[in-house]
Chain A
Amino acid sequence: MNIPDETLMAFVDGELDAAARAAVESALKEDPELAKRVARHAALRQRLRVAYSSELTEPVPQRLLEAAKRVPPQANNIVNLRGARGAKLRDAADSSPSAVRWRPAAAIAASVIIGFGLGYANRNQGSAPLVRTADGALTAGGVLAKALSAQLVARQNPGSEVHIGVSFKAKNGEYCRTFALSGTVSPSGLACRQGEQWRIESLGQSNDAAGSGYRTAGTNMSSQTLKAVEERIDGEALDAAGEANALQKDWRK
């Protein structure tokens, strides 16, 4: 069977529909030359991914983190057509005090935990990053992952670095747990078990620690985490026995 190269590339890129994919797969079994062409495309894809993977763990410059958490400037500073629309939005935001204070706080928490996880912690011997990114998804690492996997609320040490809140089973069958980290800035959030990983579903800040200009975000952030929990929870939170049972199963579905 003669299959055009673009089809083989689409096959490697996961862009074929089921029928076309099956056709390529069966042709591959019979034609070693075809299999070689596919392997060549797959190898290139793989090499590119590897070659460009280190950039994902580089510390992000502070100025970019700040740009991402900054609320857009006032309307009279914006000289473009969208200014008017933006201003309307901001007026709406200003009339709702909770909106203005928890937006920056959340962004700070996210940047701090990422900065900590990806930059600071990497440079300190022995401390693994608490949060890792892969293709835009966040997973827990280091002591955070360890606590999510091993820490039971009933036996939690008040001085431990990670404080686990509630554990529950999500509607999709995954086990999820809320957490808070100790320290001057206290990121908190929700993580769900996916295979070997704890995927971070929600990340915020639990205490008033961001300092000047930002007010207490505690209740707001916990309401955000609470909302994330409410969206996912199937039934009720696990009690001590349920938690111990889930831990026995290594939090697998």
Chain B
Amino acid sequence: MNTSETSQNIHEEIVLLLPRLRRFARNLVRNPHDADDVVQVAVERALMRSEQWRSDARLDSWMFKIVRNAWIDEMRSRGRRDKVFLAQEAGENVGTDPIEGEIAIMSIQTAMARLPEEQRTAISLVLIEGLPYKEAADVLEVPIGTLTSRLARGREALQALLGSEGEEI
């Protein structure tokens, strides 16, 4: 595959990935607008260094990694104050919708919001985005054993937060 074909595919495929990138970013960044900012930075970075992406590698994993790094850079540049504030805000505003059926969904998101970041990203990549352990470990730049223990702790925490609901089949 020559360079121009790779580039052409990458634009098209990134467009297709945008909904998932936004979803992943929202699990990192509480404010959806900020999450979109992170996605935008990540997309721009990805296109700048698209020659680093090998077309036999999974584009989604590669992009998730860039999204996460963009978020880490953003956090560093503005300090941790906003994150704490936004997490509190998100916790207050969810779970109040009276429509039945949405309550369970909101409570999962509330529960996710309470997980430590490292567990939340592990859960997000494997259980929501469906990445294999190896790919998820690569995105987070940790050994597989670290990923699986974060996953296990995250799952236990979610089950505990969700209470008996989580045990229903």
Instruction: Check B169 against A98 for contact (C-beta < 8 Å).
Output: no
Q: Does B139 contact A (CB under 8 A)?
A: no
Binary B-proximity of A47-81 (CB < 8 A = 1, otherwise 0): 11111100111101101110111111000001010
Instruction: Check B8 against A106 for contact (C-beta < 8 Å).
Output: yes
Instruction: Check A72 against B47 for contact (C-beta < 8 Å).
Output: yes
The DSSP consensus for interface residues of chain B is helix
A: contact size bracket: 35 or more
Instruction: Check A63 against B159 for contact (C-beta < 8 Å).
Output: no
Instruction: Check A40 against B166 for contact (C-beta < 8 Å).
Output: yes
The DSSP consensus for interface residues of chain A is helix
User: Which residues of B are found within 8 Å of A56, using beta-carbon distances?
Assistant: 19-20, 23
Instruction: Check A55 against B22 for contact (C-beta < 8 Å).
Output: yes
Q: Does A215 contact B (CB under 8 A)?
A: no
Q: Which of A36, A99, A110 contacts B16 (CB 8 A)?
A: A110
Q: Does A102 contact B (CB under 8 A)?
A: yes
Binary B-proximity of A2-18 (CB < 8 A = 1, otherwise 0): 00011001100101000
Q: Which residue of A lies closest to B123 (CB)?
A: A48
Q: Which of A51, A58, A80, A85 contacts B19 (CB 8 A)?
A: A58
Q: Which residue of A lies closest to B27 (CB)?
A: A52
Q: Which of B5-41 contact A (CB under 8 A)?
A: 7-8, 11-12, 14-20, 22-23, 26, 36, 39-40
Instruction: Check A103 against B7 for contact (C-beta < 8 Å).
Output: yes
Binary B-proximity of A104-138 (CB < 8 A = 1, otherwise 0): 10110011001000100000000000000101101
User: Which residues of A are found within 8 Å of B127, using beta-carbon distances?
Assistant: 13, 44-45, 48-49
Instruction: Check B18 against A65 for contact (C-beta < 8 Å).
Output: yes
Q: Which of B112, B152, B158, B168 contacts A5 (CB 8 A)?
A: B152
Q: Does B87 contact A (CB under 8 A)?
A: no
Q: Which of A68, A82, A98, A114 contacts B11 (CB 8 A)?
A: A68
Number of A-B contacts (CB under 8 A): 148
Known: A9-B151, A44-B158, A48-B123. Contact between A114 and B167, CB under 8 A?
Answer: no
Binary A-proximity of B104-130 (CB < 8 A = 1, otherwise 0): 110011001000000000010011101
Q: Does A89 contact B (CB under 8 A)?
A: yes
Instruction: Check A55 against B19 for contact (C-beta < 8 Å).
Output: yes
Q: Which of B48-69 contact A (CB under 8 A)?
A: 48-51, 60
User: Which residue, A36, A67, A106, has most C-beta atoms of chain B within 10 A?
Assistant: A67
Taking the closest CB of chain A, its distance from the CB of B142, in whole angstroms, is 15
User: Which residues of A are found within 8 Å of B22, using beta-carbon distances?
Assistant: 55, 58, 60, 64
Instruction: Check A93 against B7 for contact (C-beta < 8 Å).
Output: yes
Provide a sorted-by-A list of 18 A–B residue pairs whose CB atoms are within 8 angstroms.
A5-B152, A40-B169, A43-B169, A44-B127, A44-B155, A44-B162, A45-B127, A48-B108, A55-B26, A72-B47, A82-B48, A82-B49, A89-B51, A102-B8, A107-B15, A111-B15, A135-B130, A136-B60
Q: Nearest 3 pairs between A and B by C-beta?
A: A99-B4, A107-B11, A51-B108
* Residues in chain A within 8 A of chain B (CB atoms): 5-6, 9-10, 13, 15, 36, 39-45, 47-52, 55-58, 60-61, 63-65, 67-72, 78, 80, 82, 85-86, 89, 92-93, 96, 98-99, 102-104, 106-107, 110-111, 114, 118, 133, 135-136, 138, 203, 224
